[in-house]
Amino acid sequence: MKKLIFSILIALLLWGVGCVGSPVHSTIAYGSVKKTIRKNNTAILTLKAGMSQDEVKVTLGNPERSEGYPWGSAWLYRTAISQGIDGGIYGTIDADFTPLMFDEKGTLHGWGRNYFEQYVNKYEVTLKHQSGTPK
């Protein structure tokens, strides 16, 4: 009987460690994400406009996300954790990521959410102007 109870306790403990959403798993994952956020925020401070994608990879590693656009690409690195229904460590809230903008040649032009919005708006205005559509 003692062996059965011991086996059940071990099974429950192992199940709790490995299950997403368990307190132990959440603590481990949260700590890992916080470490990544600190690393990314520190590394972003060393970026310089004009860097190549390879140079950025040496500094920050691979992006957690990337997006392609007609003008180039945006690499997104996690730099925050939002709380709430769509937030948390598994969240996909755009505000949790800092975008880095590269032109079509792979040259870094700038980074940050505000820069991204200005960059996209500038490109869209240029396209509308070139196509003859009023601004």
Residue-wise pLDDT tens digits, 32-68 = 888 999 999 999 999 999 999 999 999 999 999 999 9
**Measured CA distances, 23 to 11, 37, 117, 121 (Å):** 16, 21, 38, 43
pLDDT given for residue 90 in this prediction? 56
Residue 10 in any domain: the answer is no
Residue 2 in any domain: the answer is no
Residue 78 in any domain: the answer is yes
Range of the domain at 109: 31-131
Residue 11 in any domain: the answer is no
Residue 13 in any domain: the answer is no
The CATH number of the domain holding residue 62 is 3.30.1450
Residue 87 in any domain: the answer is yes
pLDDT given for residue 50 in this prediction? 98
pTM of the model: 0.67
Residue 48 in any domain: the answer is yes
How many structural domains is the chain composed of?
A: 1
pLDDT truncated to tens, each residue of the chain (135 aa)?
Answer: 666 665 565 555 454 444 444 444 444 566 788 899 999 999 999 999 999 999 999 999 999 999 998 889 999 999 988 765 445 555 568 889 999 999 999 999 999 999 888 877 777 665 555 555 554
CA-to-CA distance for 77 and 65, rounded, in angstroms? 7
Residue 41 in any domain: the answer is yes
Task: Look at residues 82, 83, 71 and name the one whose alpha carbon lies nearest to residue 118.
Answer: 71
pLDDT given for residue 12 in this prediction? 52
CA-to-CA distance for 50 and 111, rounded, in angstroms? 12
Task: Look at residues 26, 36, 53, 60 and name the one whose alpha carbon lies nearest to residue 109.
Answer: 53
